[in-house]
Amino acid sequence: MPPGSTSDNSPQPATRRMKIRKTTIGGEEGIQINMTPMIDVVFQLLVFFIFTFKIVQQEGDFNITMPQTAPNPGPPSSNLPPFRVQMTAHPGGSLAELKLADSVLGSFPPIAESDDPDVSARNEATKEAIRRQFFKGALRQRILDTVGYNTGPNAPAANAKVELDCDRHLNYEWVIAAVTAVSGEIDPVKKQRVPIIEQIEFKPRLQ
């Protein structure tokens, strides 16, 4: 065999092909997705909708000139003067007299506070009787006879007003009793509050 020549039957060295796999950080094989076709489809759809979009005239636009509305007259004004409730106090702070305008609704003796349980119980019973008879009774009934209940914005009571004129040293419980009496009451059937007058102001005593 001449030098430099090879035999056809001699074994040839085997070639090895190596496949490179891309792995993720966790060790799993990653799958690459070619986004180019998807982007092409999105742009084609976008162009399609742009060219097929038609701007139509708004329905119901008849260009009609409507007449101007009349001004809102608002709630009816009340010509009732405010209810002036005057409460004078004894030197100890208990209620001495209750007046509605110039009408005296009641005059009361002084109630001396005491640490004796029996005296405190009698005093509380006397206070509750005054609240029930003169505040929830006489005072509230006088106002209801004039304006009635506040049943809506057109009711007389909706625009009525109460002015409270109280002595500076009057115990605050009597002020609360007056506000409770004129502002409303609880319906015994429906168990709901029925309003009367909600505009309540404190006014200094007229000289």
Residue 14 in any domain: the answer is no
Domain span at 121: 83-202
pLDDT tens profile 139-184? 999 888 988 888 888 888 888 899 999 988 899 899 999 998 999 8
Q: Does a structural domain hold residue 120?
A: yes
pLDDT given at position 37:
87
pLDDT band at 45 (very low <50, low <70, confident <90, very high): very high
- CA–CA gap between residue 51 and residue 40 (Å, rounded): 17
Per-residue pLDDT at 66 exceeds 70: no
Which stretch of 27-31, 60-64, 115-119 has the lowest confidence by average pLDDT? 60-64
Q: Determine, yes or no, domain membership for 45.
A: no
Contact 189, 207 (CB under 8 A): no
User: For residue 102, is it within any domain?
Assistant: yes
Per-residue pLDDT reduced to its tens digit, 69-114: 666 655 555 567 889 999 999 988 899 999 998 889 999 998 888 8
Of 131, 126, 205, give the one whose Cα is nearest residue 168: 205
Please enumerate in sequence order all residues whose Cβ is within 8 A of that of 197, keeping only pairs 6 or more positions apart, or say none. 83, 143, 147, 150, 157, 160, 161, 162, 182, 183
What local confidence, expressed as pLDDT, does residue 134 receive? 85
Neighbours of 97 (CB within 10 A): 15
**What is the pLDDT at residue 85?**
92
In a domain, 103, yes or no: yes
Residue 14 clears pLDDT 80, i.e. is over it: no
| 44 found inside a domain | no
- CA distance linking residue 135 with residue 61, whole number of Å: 62
Residue 106 lies in a domain: yes
pTM of the model: 0.58
Number of domains in the chain: 1
76 close to 159: Cβ distance less than 8 angstroms? yes
Query: Could you give the CA distance from residue 32 to residue 23 in angstroms, rounded to a whole number?
Result: 11
What is the average pLDDT value for the chain, to the nearest integer? 79
Residue 26, pLDDT score = 57
Task: Say how far apart CA 114 and CA 91 lie, in whole Å.
Answer: 15
Has residue 27 been placed in a domain?
no
* Residue scoring higher pLDDT (49 or 78): 49
